[in-house]
Structure 1
Amino acid sequence: MKKILLAAATATILSSCGTQKEAAQSTEEATTVAVVEMETEMGEEIEEETEIEPVISTVIDGHLRGLHNKDAFMEAPYSTWFVPEYESYTPDATVVNDLKTAMNGVEVRAFMGTWCGDSKRETPKFFKLMDQVGFDADNINLIAVDRSKQEPVALVDGFDVKRVPTFIFYRDGEELGRFVEYPRETLEKDIFKIVSGADYKHSYED
């Protein structure tokens, strides 16, 4: 038997696009307290209190937060930067064709911030590329984060995201590699190297 009680608390966080860029402050109501009662195998009831955070898709201080898809960027004010970048980007047709096979069985976890210039540049290109490849959008989990890149905790924790955008590619649950902030060559060539198993280091790896 489970009973969940929700309560909000305010957390103030310091944030930035990358570790060497100017930080700014933001607030978010996010903490959830859960009181859970459960029966043990011996038939006894135990009660334990845990902090959990709901999975959210919302807007805070004018910025997207949580899980979103391409449709969110087609609405104002995000469309003012998303649509021009999407329409002006023309990926290499040969690499697009190669990716149609190389992306088989791949899942993507993409972290970005609508407050971040690098994310505004690369995220529209990423979606344009995936559209041309014919990649199933259901295999893309896009998480919009705060400036600290630590919220929402339930979606960010454990992924070691230090800069955005960060696009992480998986096959059979194993990380193949990640694209971080800007390409070594071009977005499509970098992604092809990652998913094809070629030697690749992202822009902040030595």
Structure 2
Amino acid sequence: MKKIILILSIIALSACNSSKEKNKVEKKTSTEMISENSKEKINDTVPYEDSVMLLGKANRKGLQMDAFKSWFNPGYQDYSVDSVTLEKLKPFLKDVTITVFMGTWCEDSQRETPHLYKILDDAKFDESKLTLITTSDEKTTPQSFEKGKNITNVPTIIFYKNDKELGRIVEYPIESLEKDMLAILSGKEYKHAYAE
């Protein structure tokens, strides 16, 4: 009789624990769903020609995917930052945010984006103030991040201060990324390659 009571107690206890575990899993799942829904998709890839392209919001981690690191890493490592211009540029980067529209499929973006990251790293720029938007070859995103931004060519690097656009570099710099950035951020007259 004692054995039967002991076995029934064990079964009841394990059923109770199983129910608690199930509740924990259900709670965890709903929390994960909430956090998943509240998070924006980042580093989303879609098929492109024989590979993939990033499309929408992205970051440096996305550029380290196999499809992109073959051009990003050498472009970053091999770029020699103009240290003289960089020293002049650093104070102007303090209160600035930067939005980059680029295409992982685009040779100009493949050239300029790693260089920009290297410059910003050397300047100790806060990467949380950099927004990377990757576009289709029509310069669009599913979320319409480009809407109202007049993105005609990529890369387009837009500099903001207090949510006001200070200027932009379009497709390629006029002198160099560092010198063009300094001109824009210091308030000198600057016209990008496609300015009328």
What TM-score does the superposition give when structure 2 sets the normalisation length?
A: 0.75
Aligned with residue 160 of structure 2, among 170, 178, 189: 170
For the 8 Å contact 1:122–1:182, the answer to whether it is kept is yes
Aligned with residue 181 of structure 1, among 166, 171, 180: 171
Aligned with residue 96 of structure 1, among 81, 86, 104: 86
- What is the distance in 1 between the residues matched to 2:145 and 2:194? 23
For the 8 Å contact 2:56–2:143, the answer to whether it is kept is no
Q: In the alignment, which residue of structure 2 is the partner of 1:199?
A: 189
- What is the distance in 2 between the residues matched to 1:203 and 1:74? 29
More strand per residue: 1
For the 8 Å contact 1:108–1:140, the answer to whether it is kept is yes
User: C-alpha root-mean-square deviation of aligned residues, in Å?
Assistant: 1.3
Summarize the alignment of residues 1-206 of structure 1 with structure 2, pairs less than 5 Å apart. Answer: 56-57=41-42, 58-61=44-47, 62-206=52-196
Residue 55 of structure 1 deviates from its aligned partner by 5.1
Residue 150 of structure 1 deviates from its aligned partner by 2.0
For the 8 Å contact 1:164–1:181, the answer to whether it is kept is yes
4+ residue runs over 2 A deviation: 54-57
Residue 152 of structure 1 deviates from its aligned partner by 2.7
Number of matched pairs: 153
What TM-score does the superposition give when structure 1 sets the normalisation length?
A: 0.71
For the 8 Å contact 1:118–1:182, the answer to whether it is kept is yes
* Stretches of structure 2 lacking an aligned partner (at least 5 in a row): 1-38
* Stretches of structure 1 lacking an aligned partner (at least 5 in a row): 1-53
For the 8 Å contact 2:104–2:134, the answer to whether it is kept is yes
Residue 151 of structure 1 deviates from its aligned partner by 1.7
Residue 80 of structure 1 deviates from its aligned partner by 0.3
- What is the distance in 1 between the residues matched to 2:143 and 2:187? 30
